[in-house]
Amino acid sequence: MYRLKGKIALVTGAARGIGEAIAHAFLNEGAIVYLSDINDELGFNTAKKLGGSAQYVRLDVRSEQDWRSVMDLIVSTHGAIDVVVNNAGITGFEGGDLVHDPENASLEAWRAVHETNLDGVFLGCKYAIKAMRPRGVGSIINISSRSGLVGIPGAAAYASSKAAIRNHTKTVALYCAEQGLRIRCNSIHPAAILTPMWEPMLGNGPDREARMAELVSDTPLRRFGMPEEVAALAVLLASDEATYITGSELSIDGGLLAGSAASLRAEDA
């Protein structure tokens, strides 16, 4: 039984990583999926690789005109949209700028991260609501982060933007309920998920496994999470099994936020 059979979905930042995994999982559950990104070559190749009803559309989440165009395309083609996953995001480190602490980060770098991560989610929610309103039902899924729940000294803009996504999700959920709409909005907060972002730190040498173990040493499960595990949670939120879940924040972090997994020693008691 396909859990998303016939649903029309848009996933932003879907050319690779968590976005690609979510698109793949949605397709496997019977959805028609539009993958969007600004890396056109990779996006087209990913859609081709996934096959089925996967289609690639260019969408710069910072552009309101792009959002209008893509939503108009989807609605005019299918009559509606059922699921929007606002996944596209950046850390700010992509261009080699390693200074993102609250004292030394530049205003330009701060704004660039918020423009993609927060403005992109704001526009995604705005145009999702407009497209879903005629039928009055749908699911909006915003990908936040563990960094939206705790402070990150060396990534001030990233942490700030992800925290804002968490709160805006709740605002959207309450607004839709207030409007009498069955449009749900929830946020997912991944941490230590093995995506291409980690590759520069892991490398491909003989010490790769040791580096992986070191990087996840503070995670109770002592391993990276996989994009497919985040995608499974997105499938739940997109499905009709979750019609009473809205305004929620769901962490998928291997127990990282639960606390230390170290056993209690007698001398500590």
Q: Which of 34, 56, 127, 158 is catalytic?
A: 158
Distance CA 192, CA 212 (A): 10
In words, the CATH class of domain 8-197+226-252 is alpha beta
- Answer positive or negative: Cα dihedral of 230, 231, 236, 238: positive
Which pLDDT score, from 0 to 100, does residue 264 have?
Answer: 46
Which pLDDT score, from 0 to 100, does residue 203 have?
Answer: 72
Which pLDDT score, from 0 to 100, does residue 73 have?
Answer: 98
Low-confidence ranges of the chain (pLDDT < 50): 263-264, 266, 269
Which pLDDT score, from 0 to 100, does residue 205 have?
Answer: 82
Which pLDDT score, from 0 to 100, does residue 26 have?
Answer: 98
Which pLDDT score, from 0 to 100, does residue 200 have?
Answer: 62
Which pLDDT score, from 0 to 100, does residue 261 have?
Answer: 60
Query: Nearest Cα to 33, choosing from 168, 231, 187?
Result: 231
Q: How many CA atoms does the CB half-sphere of 266 hold within 13 Å?
A: 0
Clarify whether 158 is annotated catalytic. Answer: yes
Domain ranges of the chain: 8-197+226-252
- pTM score, whole prediction: 0.93
